[in-house]
Amino acid sequence: MKVIIAGGTGLIGRQLTKELAKNDYEVIILSRNPEKVISVPQGVEVVAWDGKSVQGWGDLVDGSRAVVNLSGTNIGGERFLPSRLTEQRKKIIRDSRILSGKALVAAIESAQDKPESFIQSSAIGYYGFHEDEILDENSPPGDDFFAEWRDWEKVTAPVEEMGVRRAIVRSGVIFSTGKGSALNRLVLPFKLYGGGPIGDGKQYLSWIHEVDEARAIRFLIENEEAQGAFNLTAPNPATNAEVGKAIAKVLNRPYYLPAPDFAFHLAFGEVGSLVTKGQRVMPGRLLEKGFDFQFPELKTALQDLLSN
């Protein structure tokens, strides 16, 4: 069973590759820099691509079980501190998702034996910011830059007309200690004994453990009835204060030093909104399909990731 992962070297891609490989899938990763890819599971193949064409890899789609599109420039940037969303950077982010999506559609269109399913990555930023309002897959899209996921989702819609089942995964904040994770950024102040609430601490954080993120994507690949949008978030979103207190407890650190939200906006611009504004998102359709979370609770998820 062959699965092709575009963007397989990112935070989600690395975990998904492990999940699929241990369950006897043949995994092919499409990467812009294959020479830099190290420590992949045995049997995983890494193939070069430019992120915008089918040259050199398009024929690999033929006969695959699934194609997973995780490609696109990281919105938060590659450095530890998030990068500001300048107009130039926004264009790079848009183009990286639109061009790669079109290339994957072209590859599937050319395939004689088309994949059974196509998994399109997205994010809960699709919904915009709604404080403590509960959001599900039927909630309308927002109207800010982060809500542009709605347009990026549409790029790969043509595969459905080719008879390929498409599931859209709107991921929450991935809890991981891997490179580039948001959790590492949240944890650092506590490690330095300076952790506390951001703003009033009441804004919701819709999170998911990296293991459940990967398990959920495999679940959607294997579930023949899984089509349309799915929120990939734990069923228990928590406020910023609850997350901070849980981190402090797991690390045995104090929780007392508040950080004003205006400081994040001054430092990071729009990216700061991801921390200071809330989204309370529920994985309604995933639960309806019978997915069983391994880490549904905040405390056990953080203990698993931070207690090592």
Question: Which domain CATH number covers 111?
Answer: 3.40.50.720
Question: What are 210-245's pLDDT values in tens digits?
Answer: 999 999 999 999 999 999 999 999 999 999 999 999
CA distance 180 to 175: 11
Q: Give this prediction's pTM.
A: 0.92
Q: Tell me the residue range of the domain where 58 lies.
A: 2-306
Distance of CA 159 to the CA centre of its chain: 21
Contact call for residues 145 and 270 (beta carbons, < 8 A): yes
Beta carbons within 8 Å of 55's beta carbon, 6+ residues apart: 49
Tally of structural domains, the chain:
1
Q: Which residues of the chain have pLDDT under 70?
A: 73-85, 145-147, 261-275, 308
**Phi, psi (5° rounding) for residue 2?**
-100, 130
Number of alpha carbons in the 13 Å side-chain half-sphere of residue 104: 38
Question: What are 13-47's pLDDT values in tens digits?
Answer: 999 999 999 999 999 999 887 777 777 888 899 99
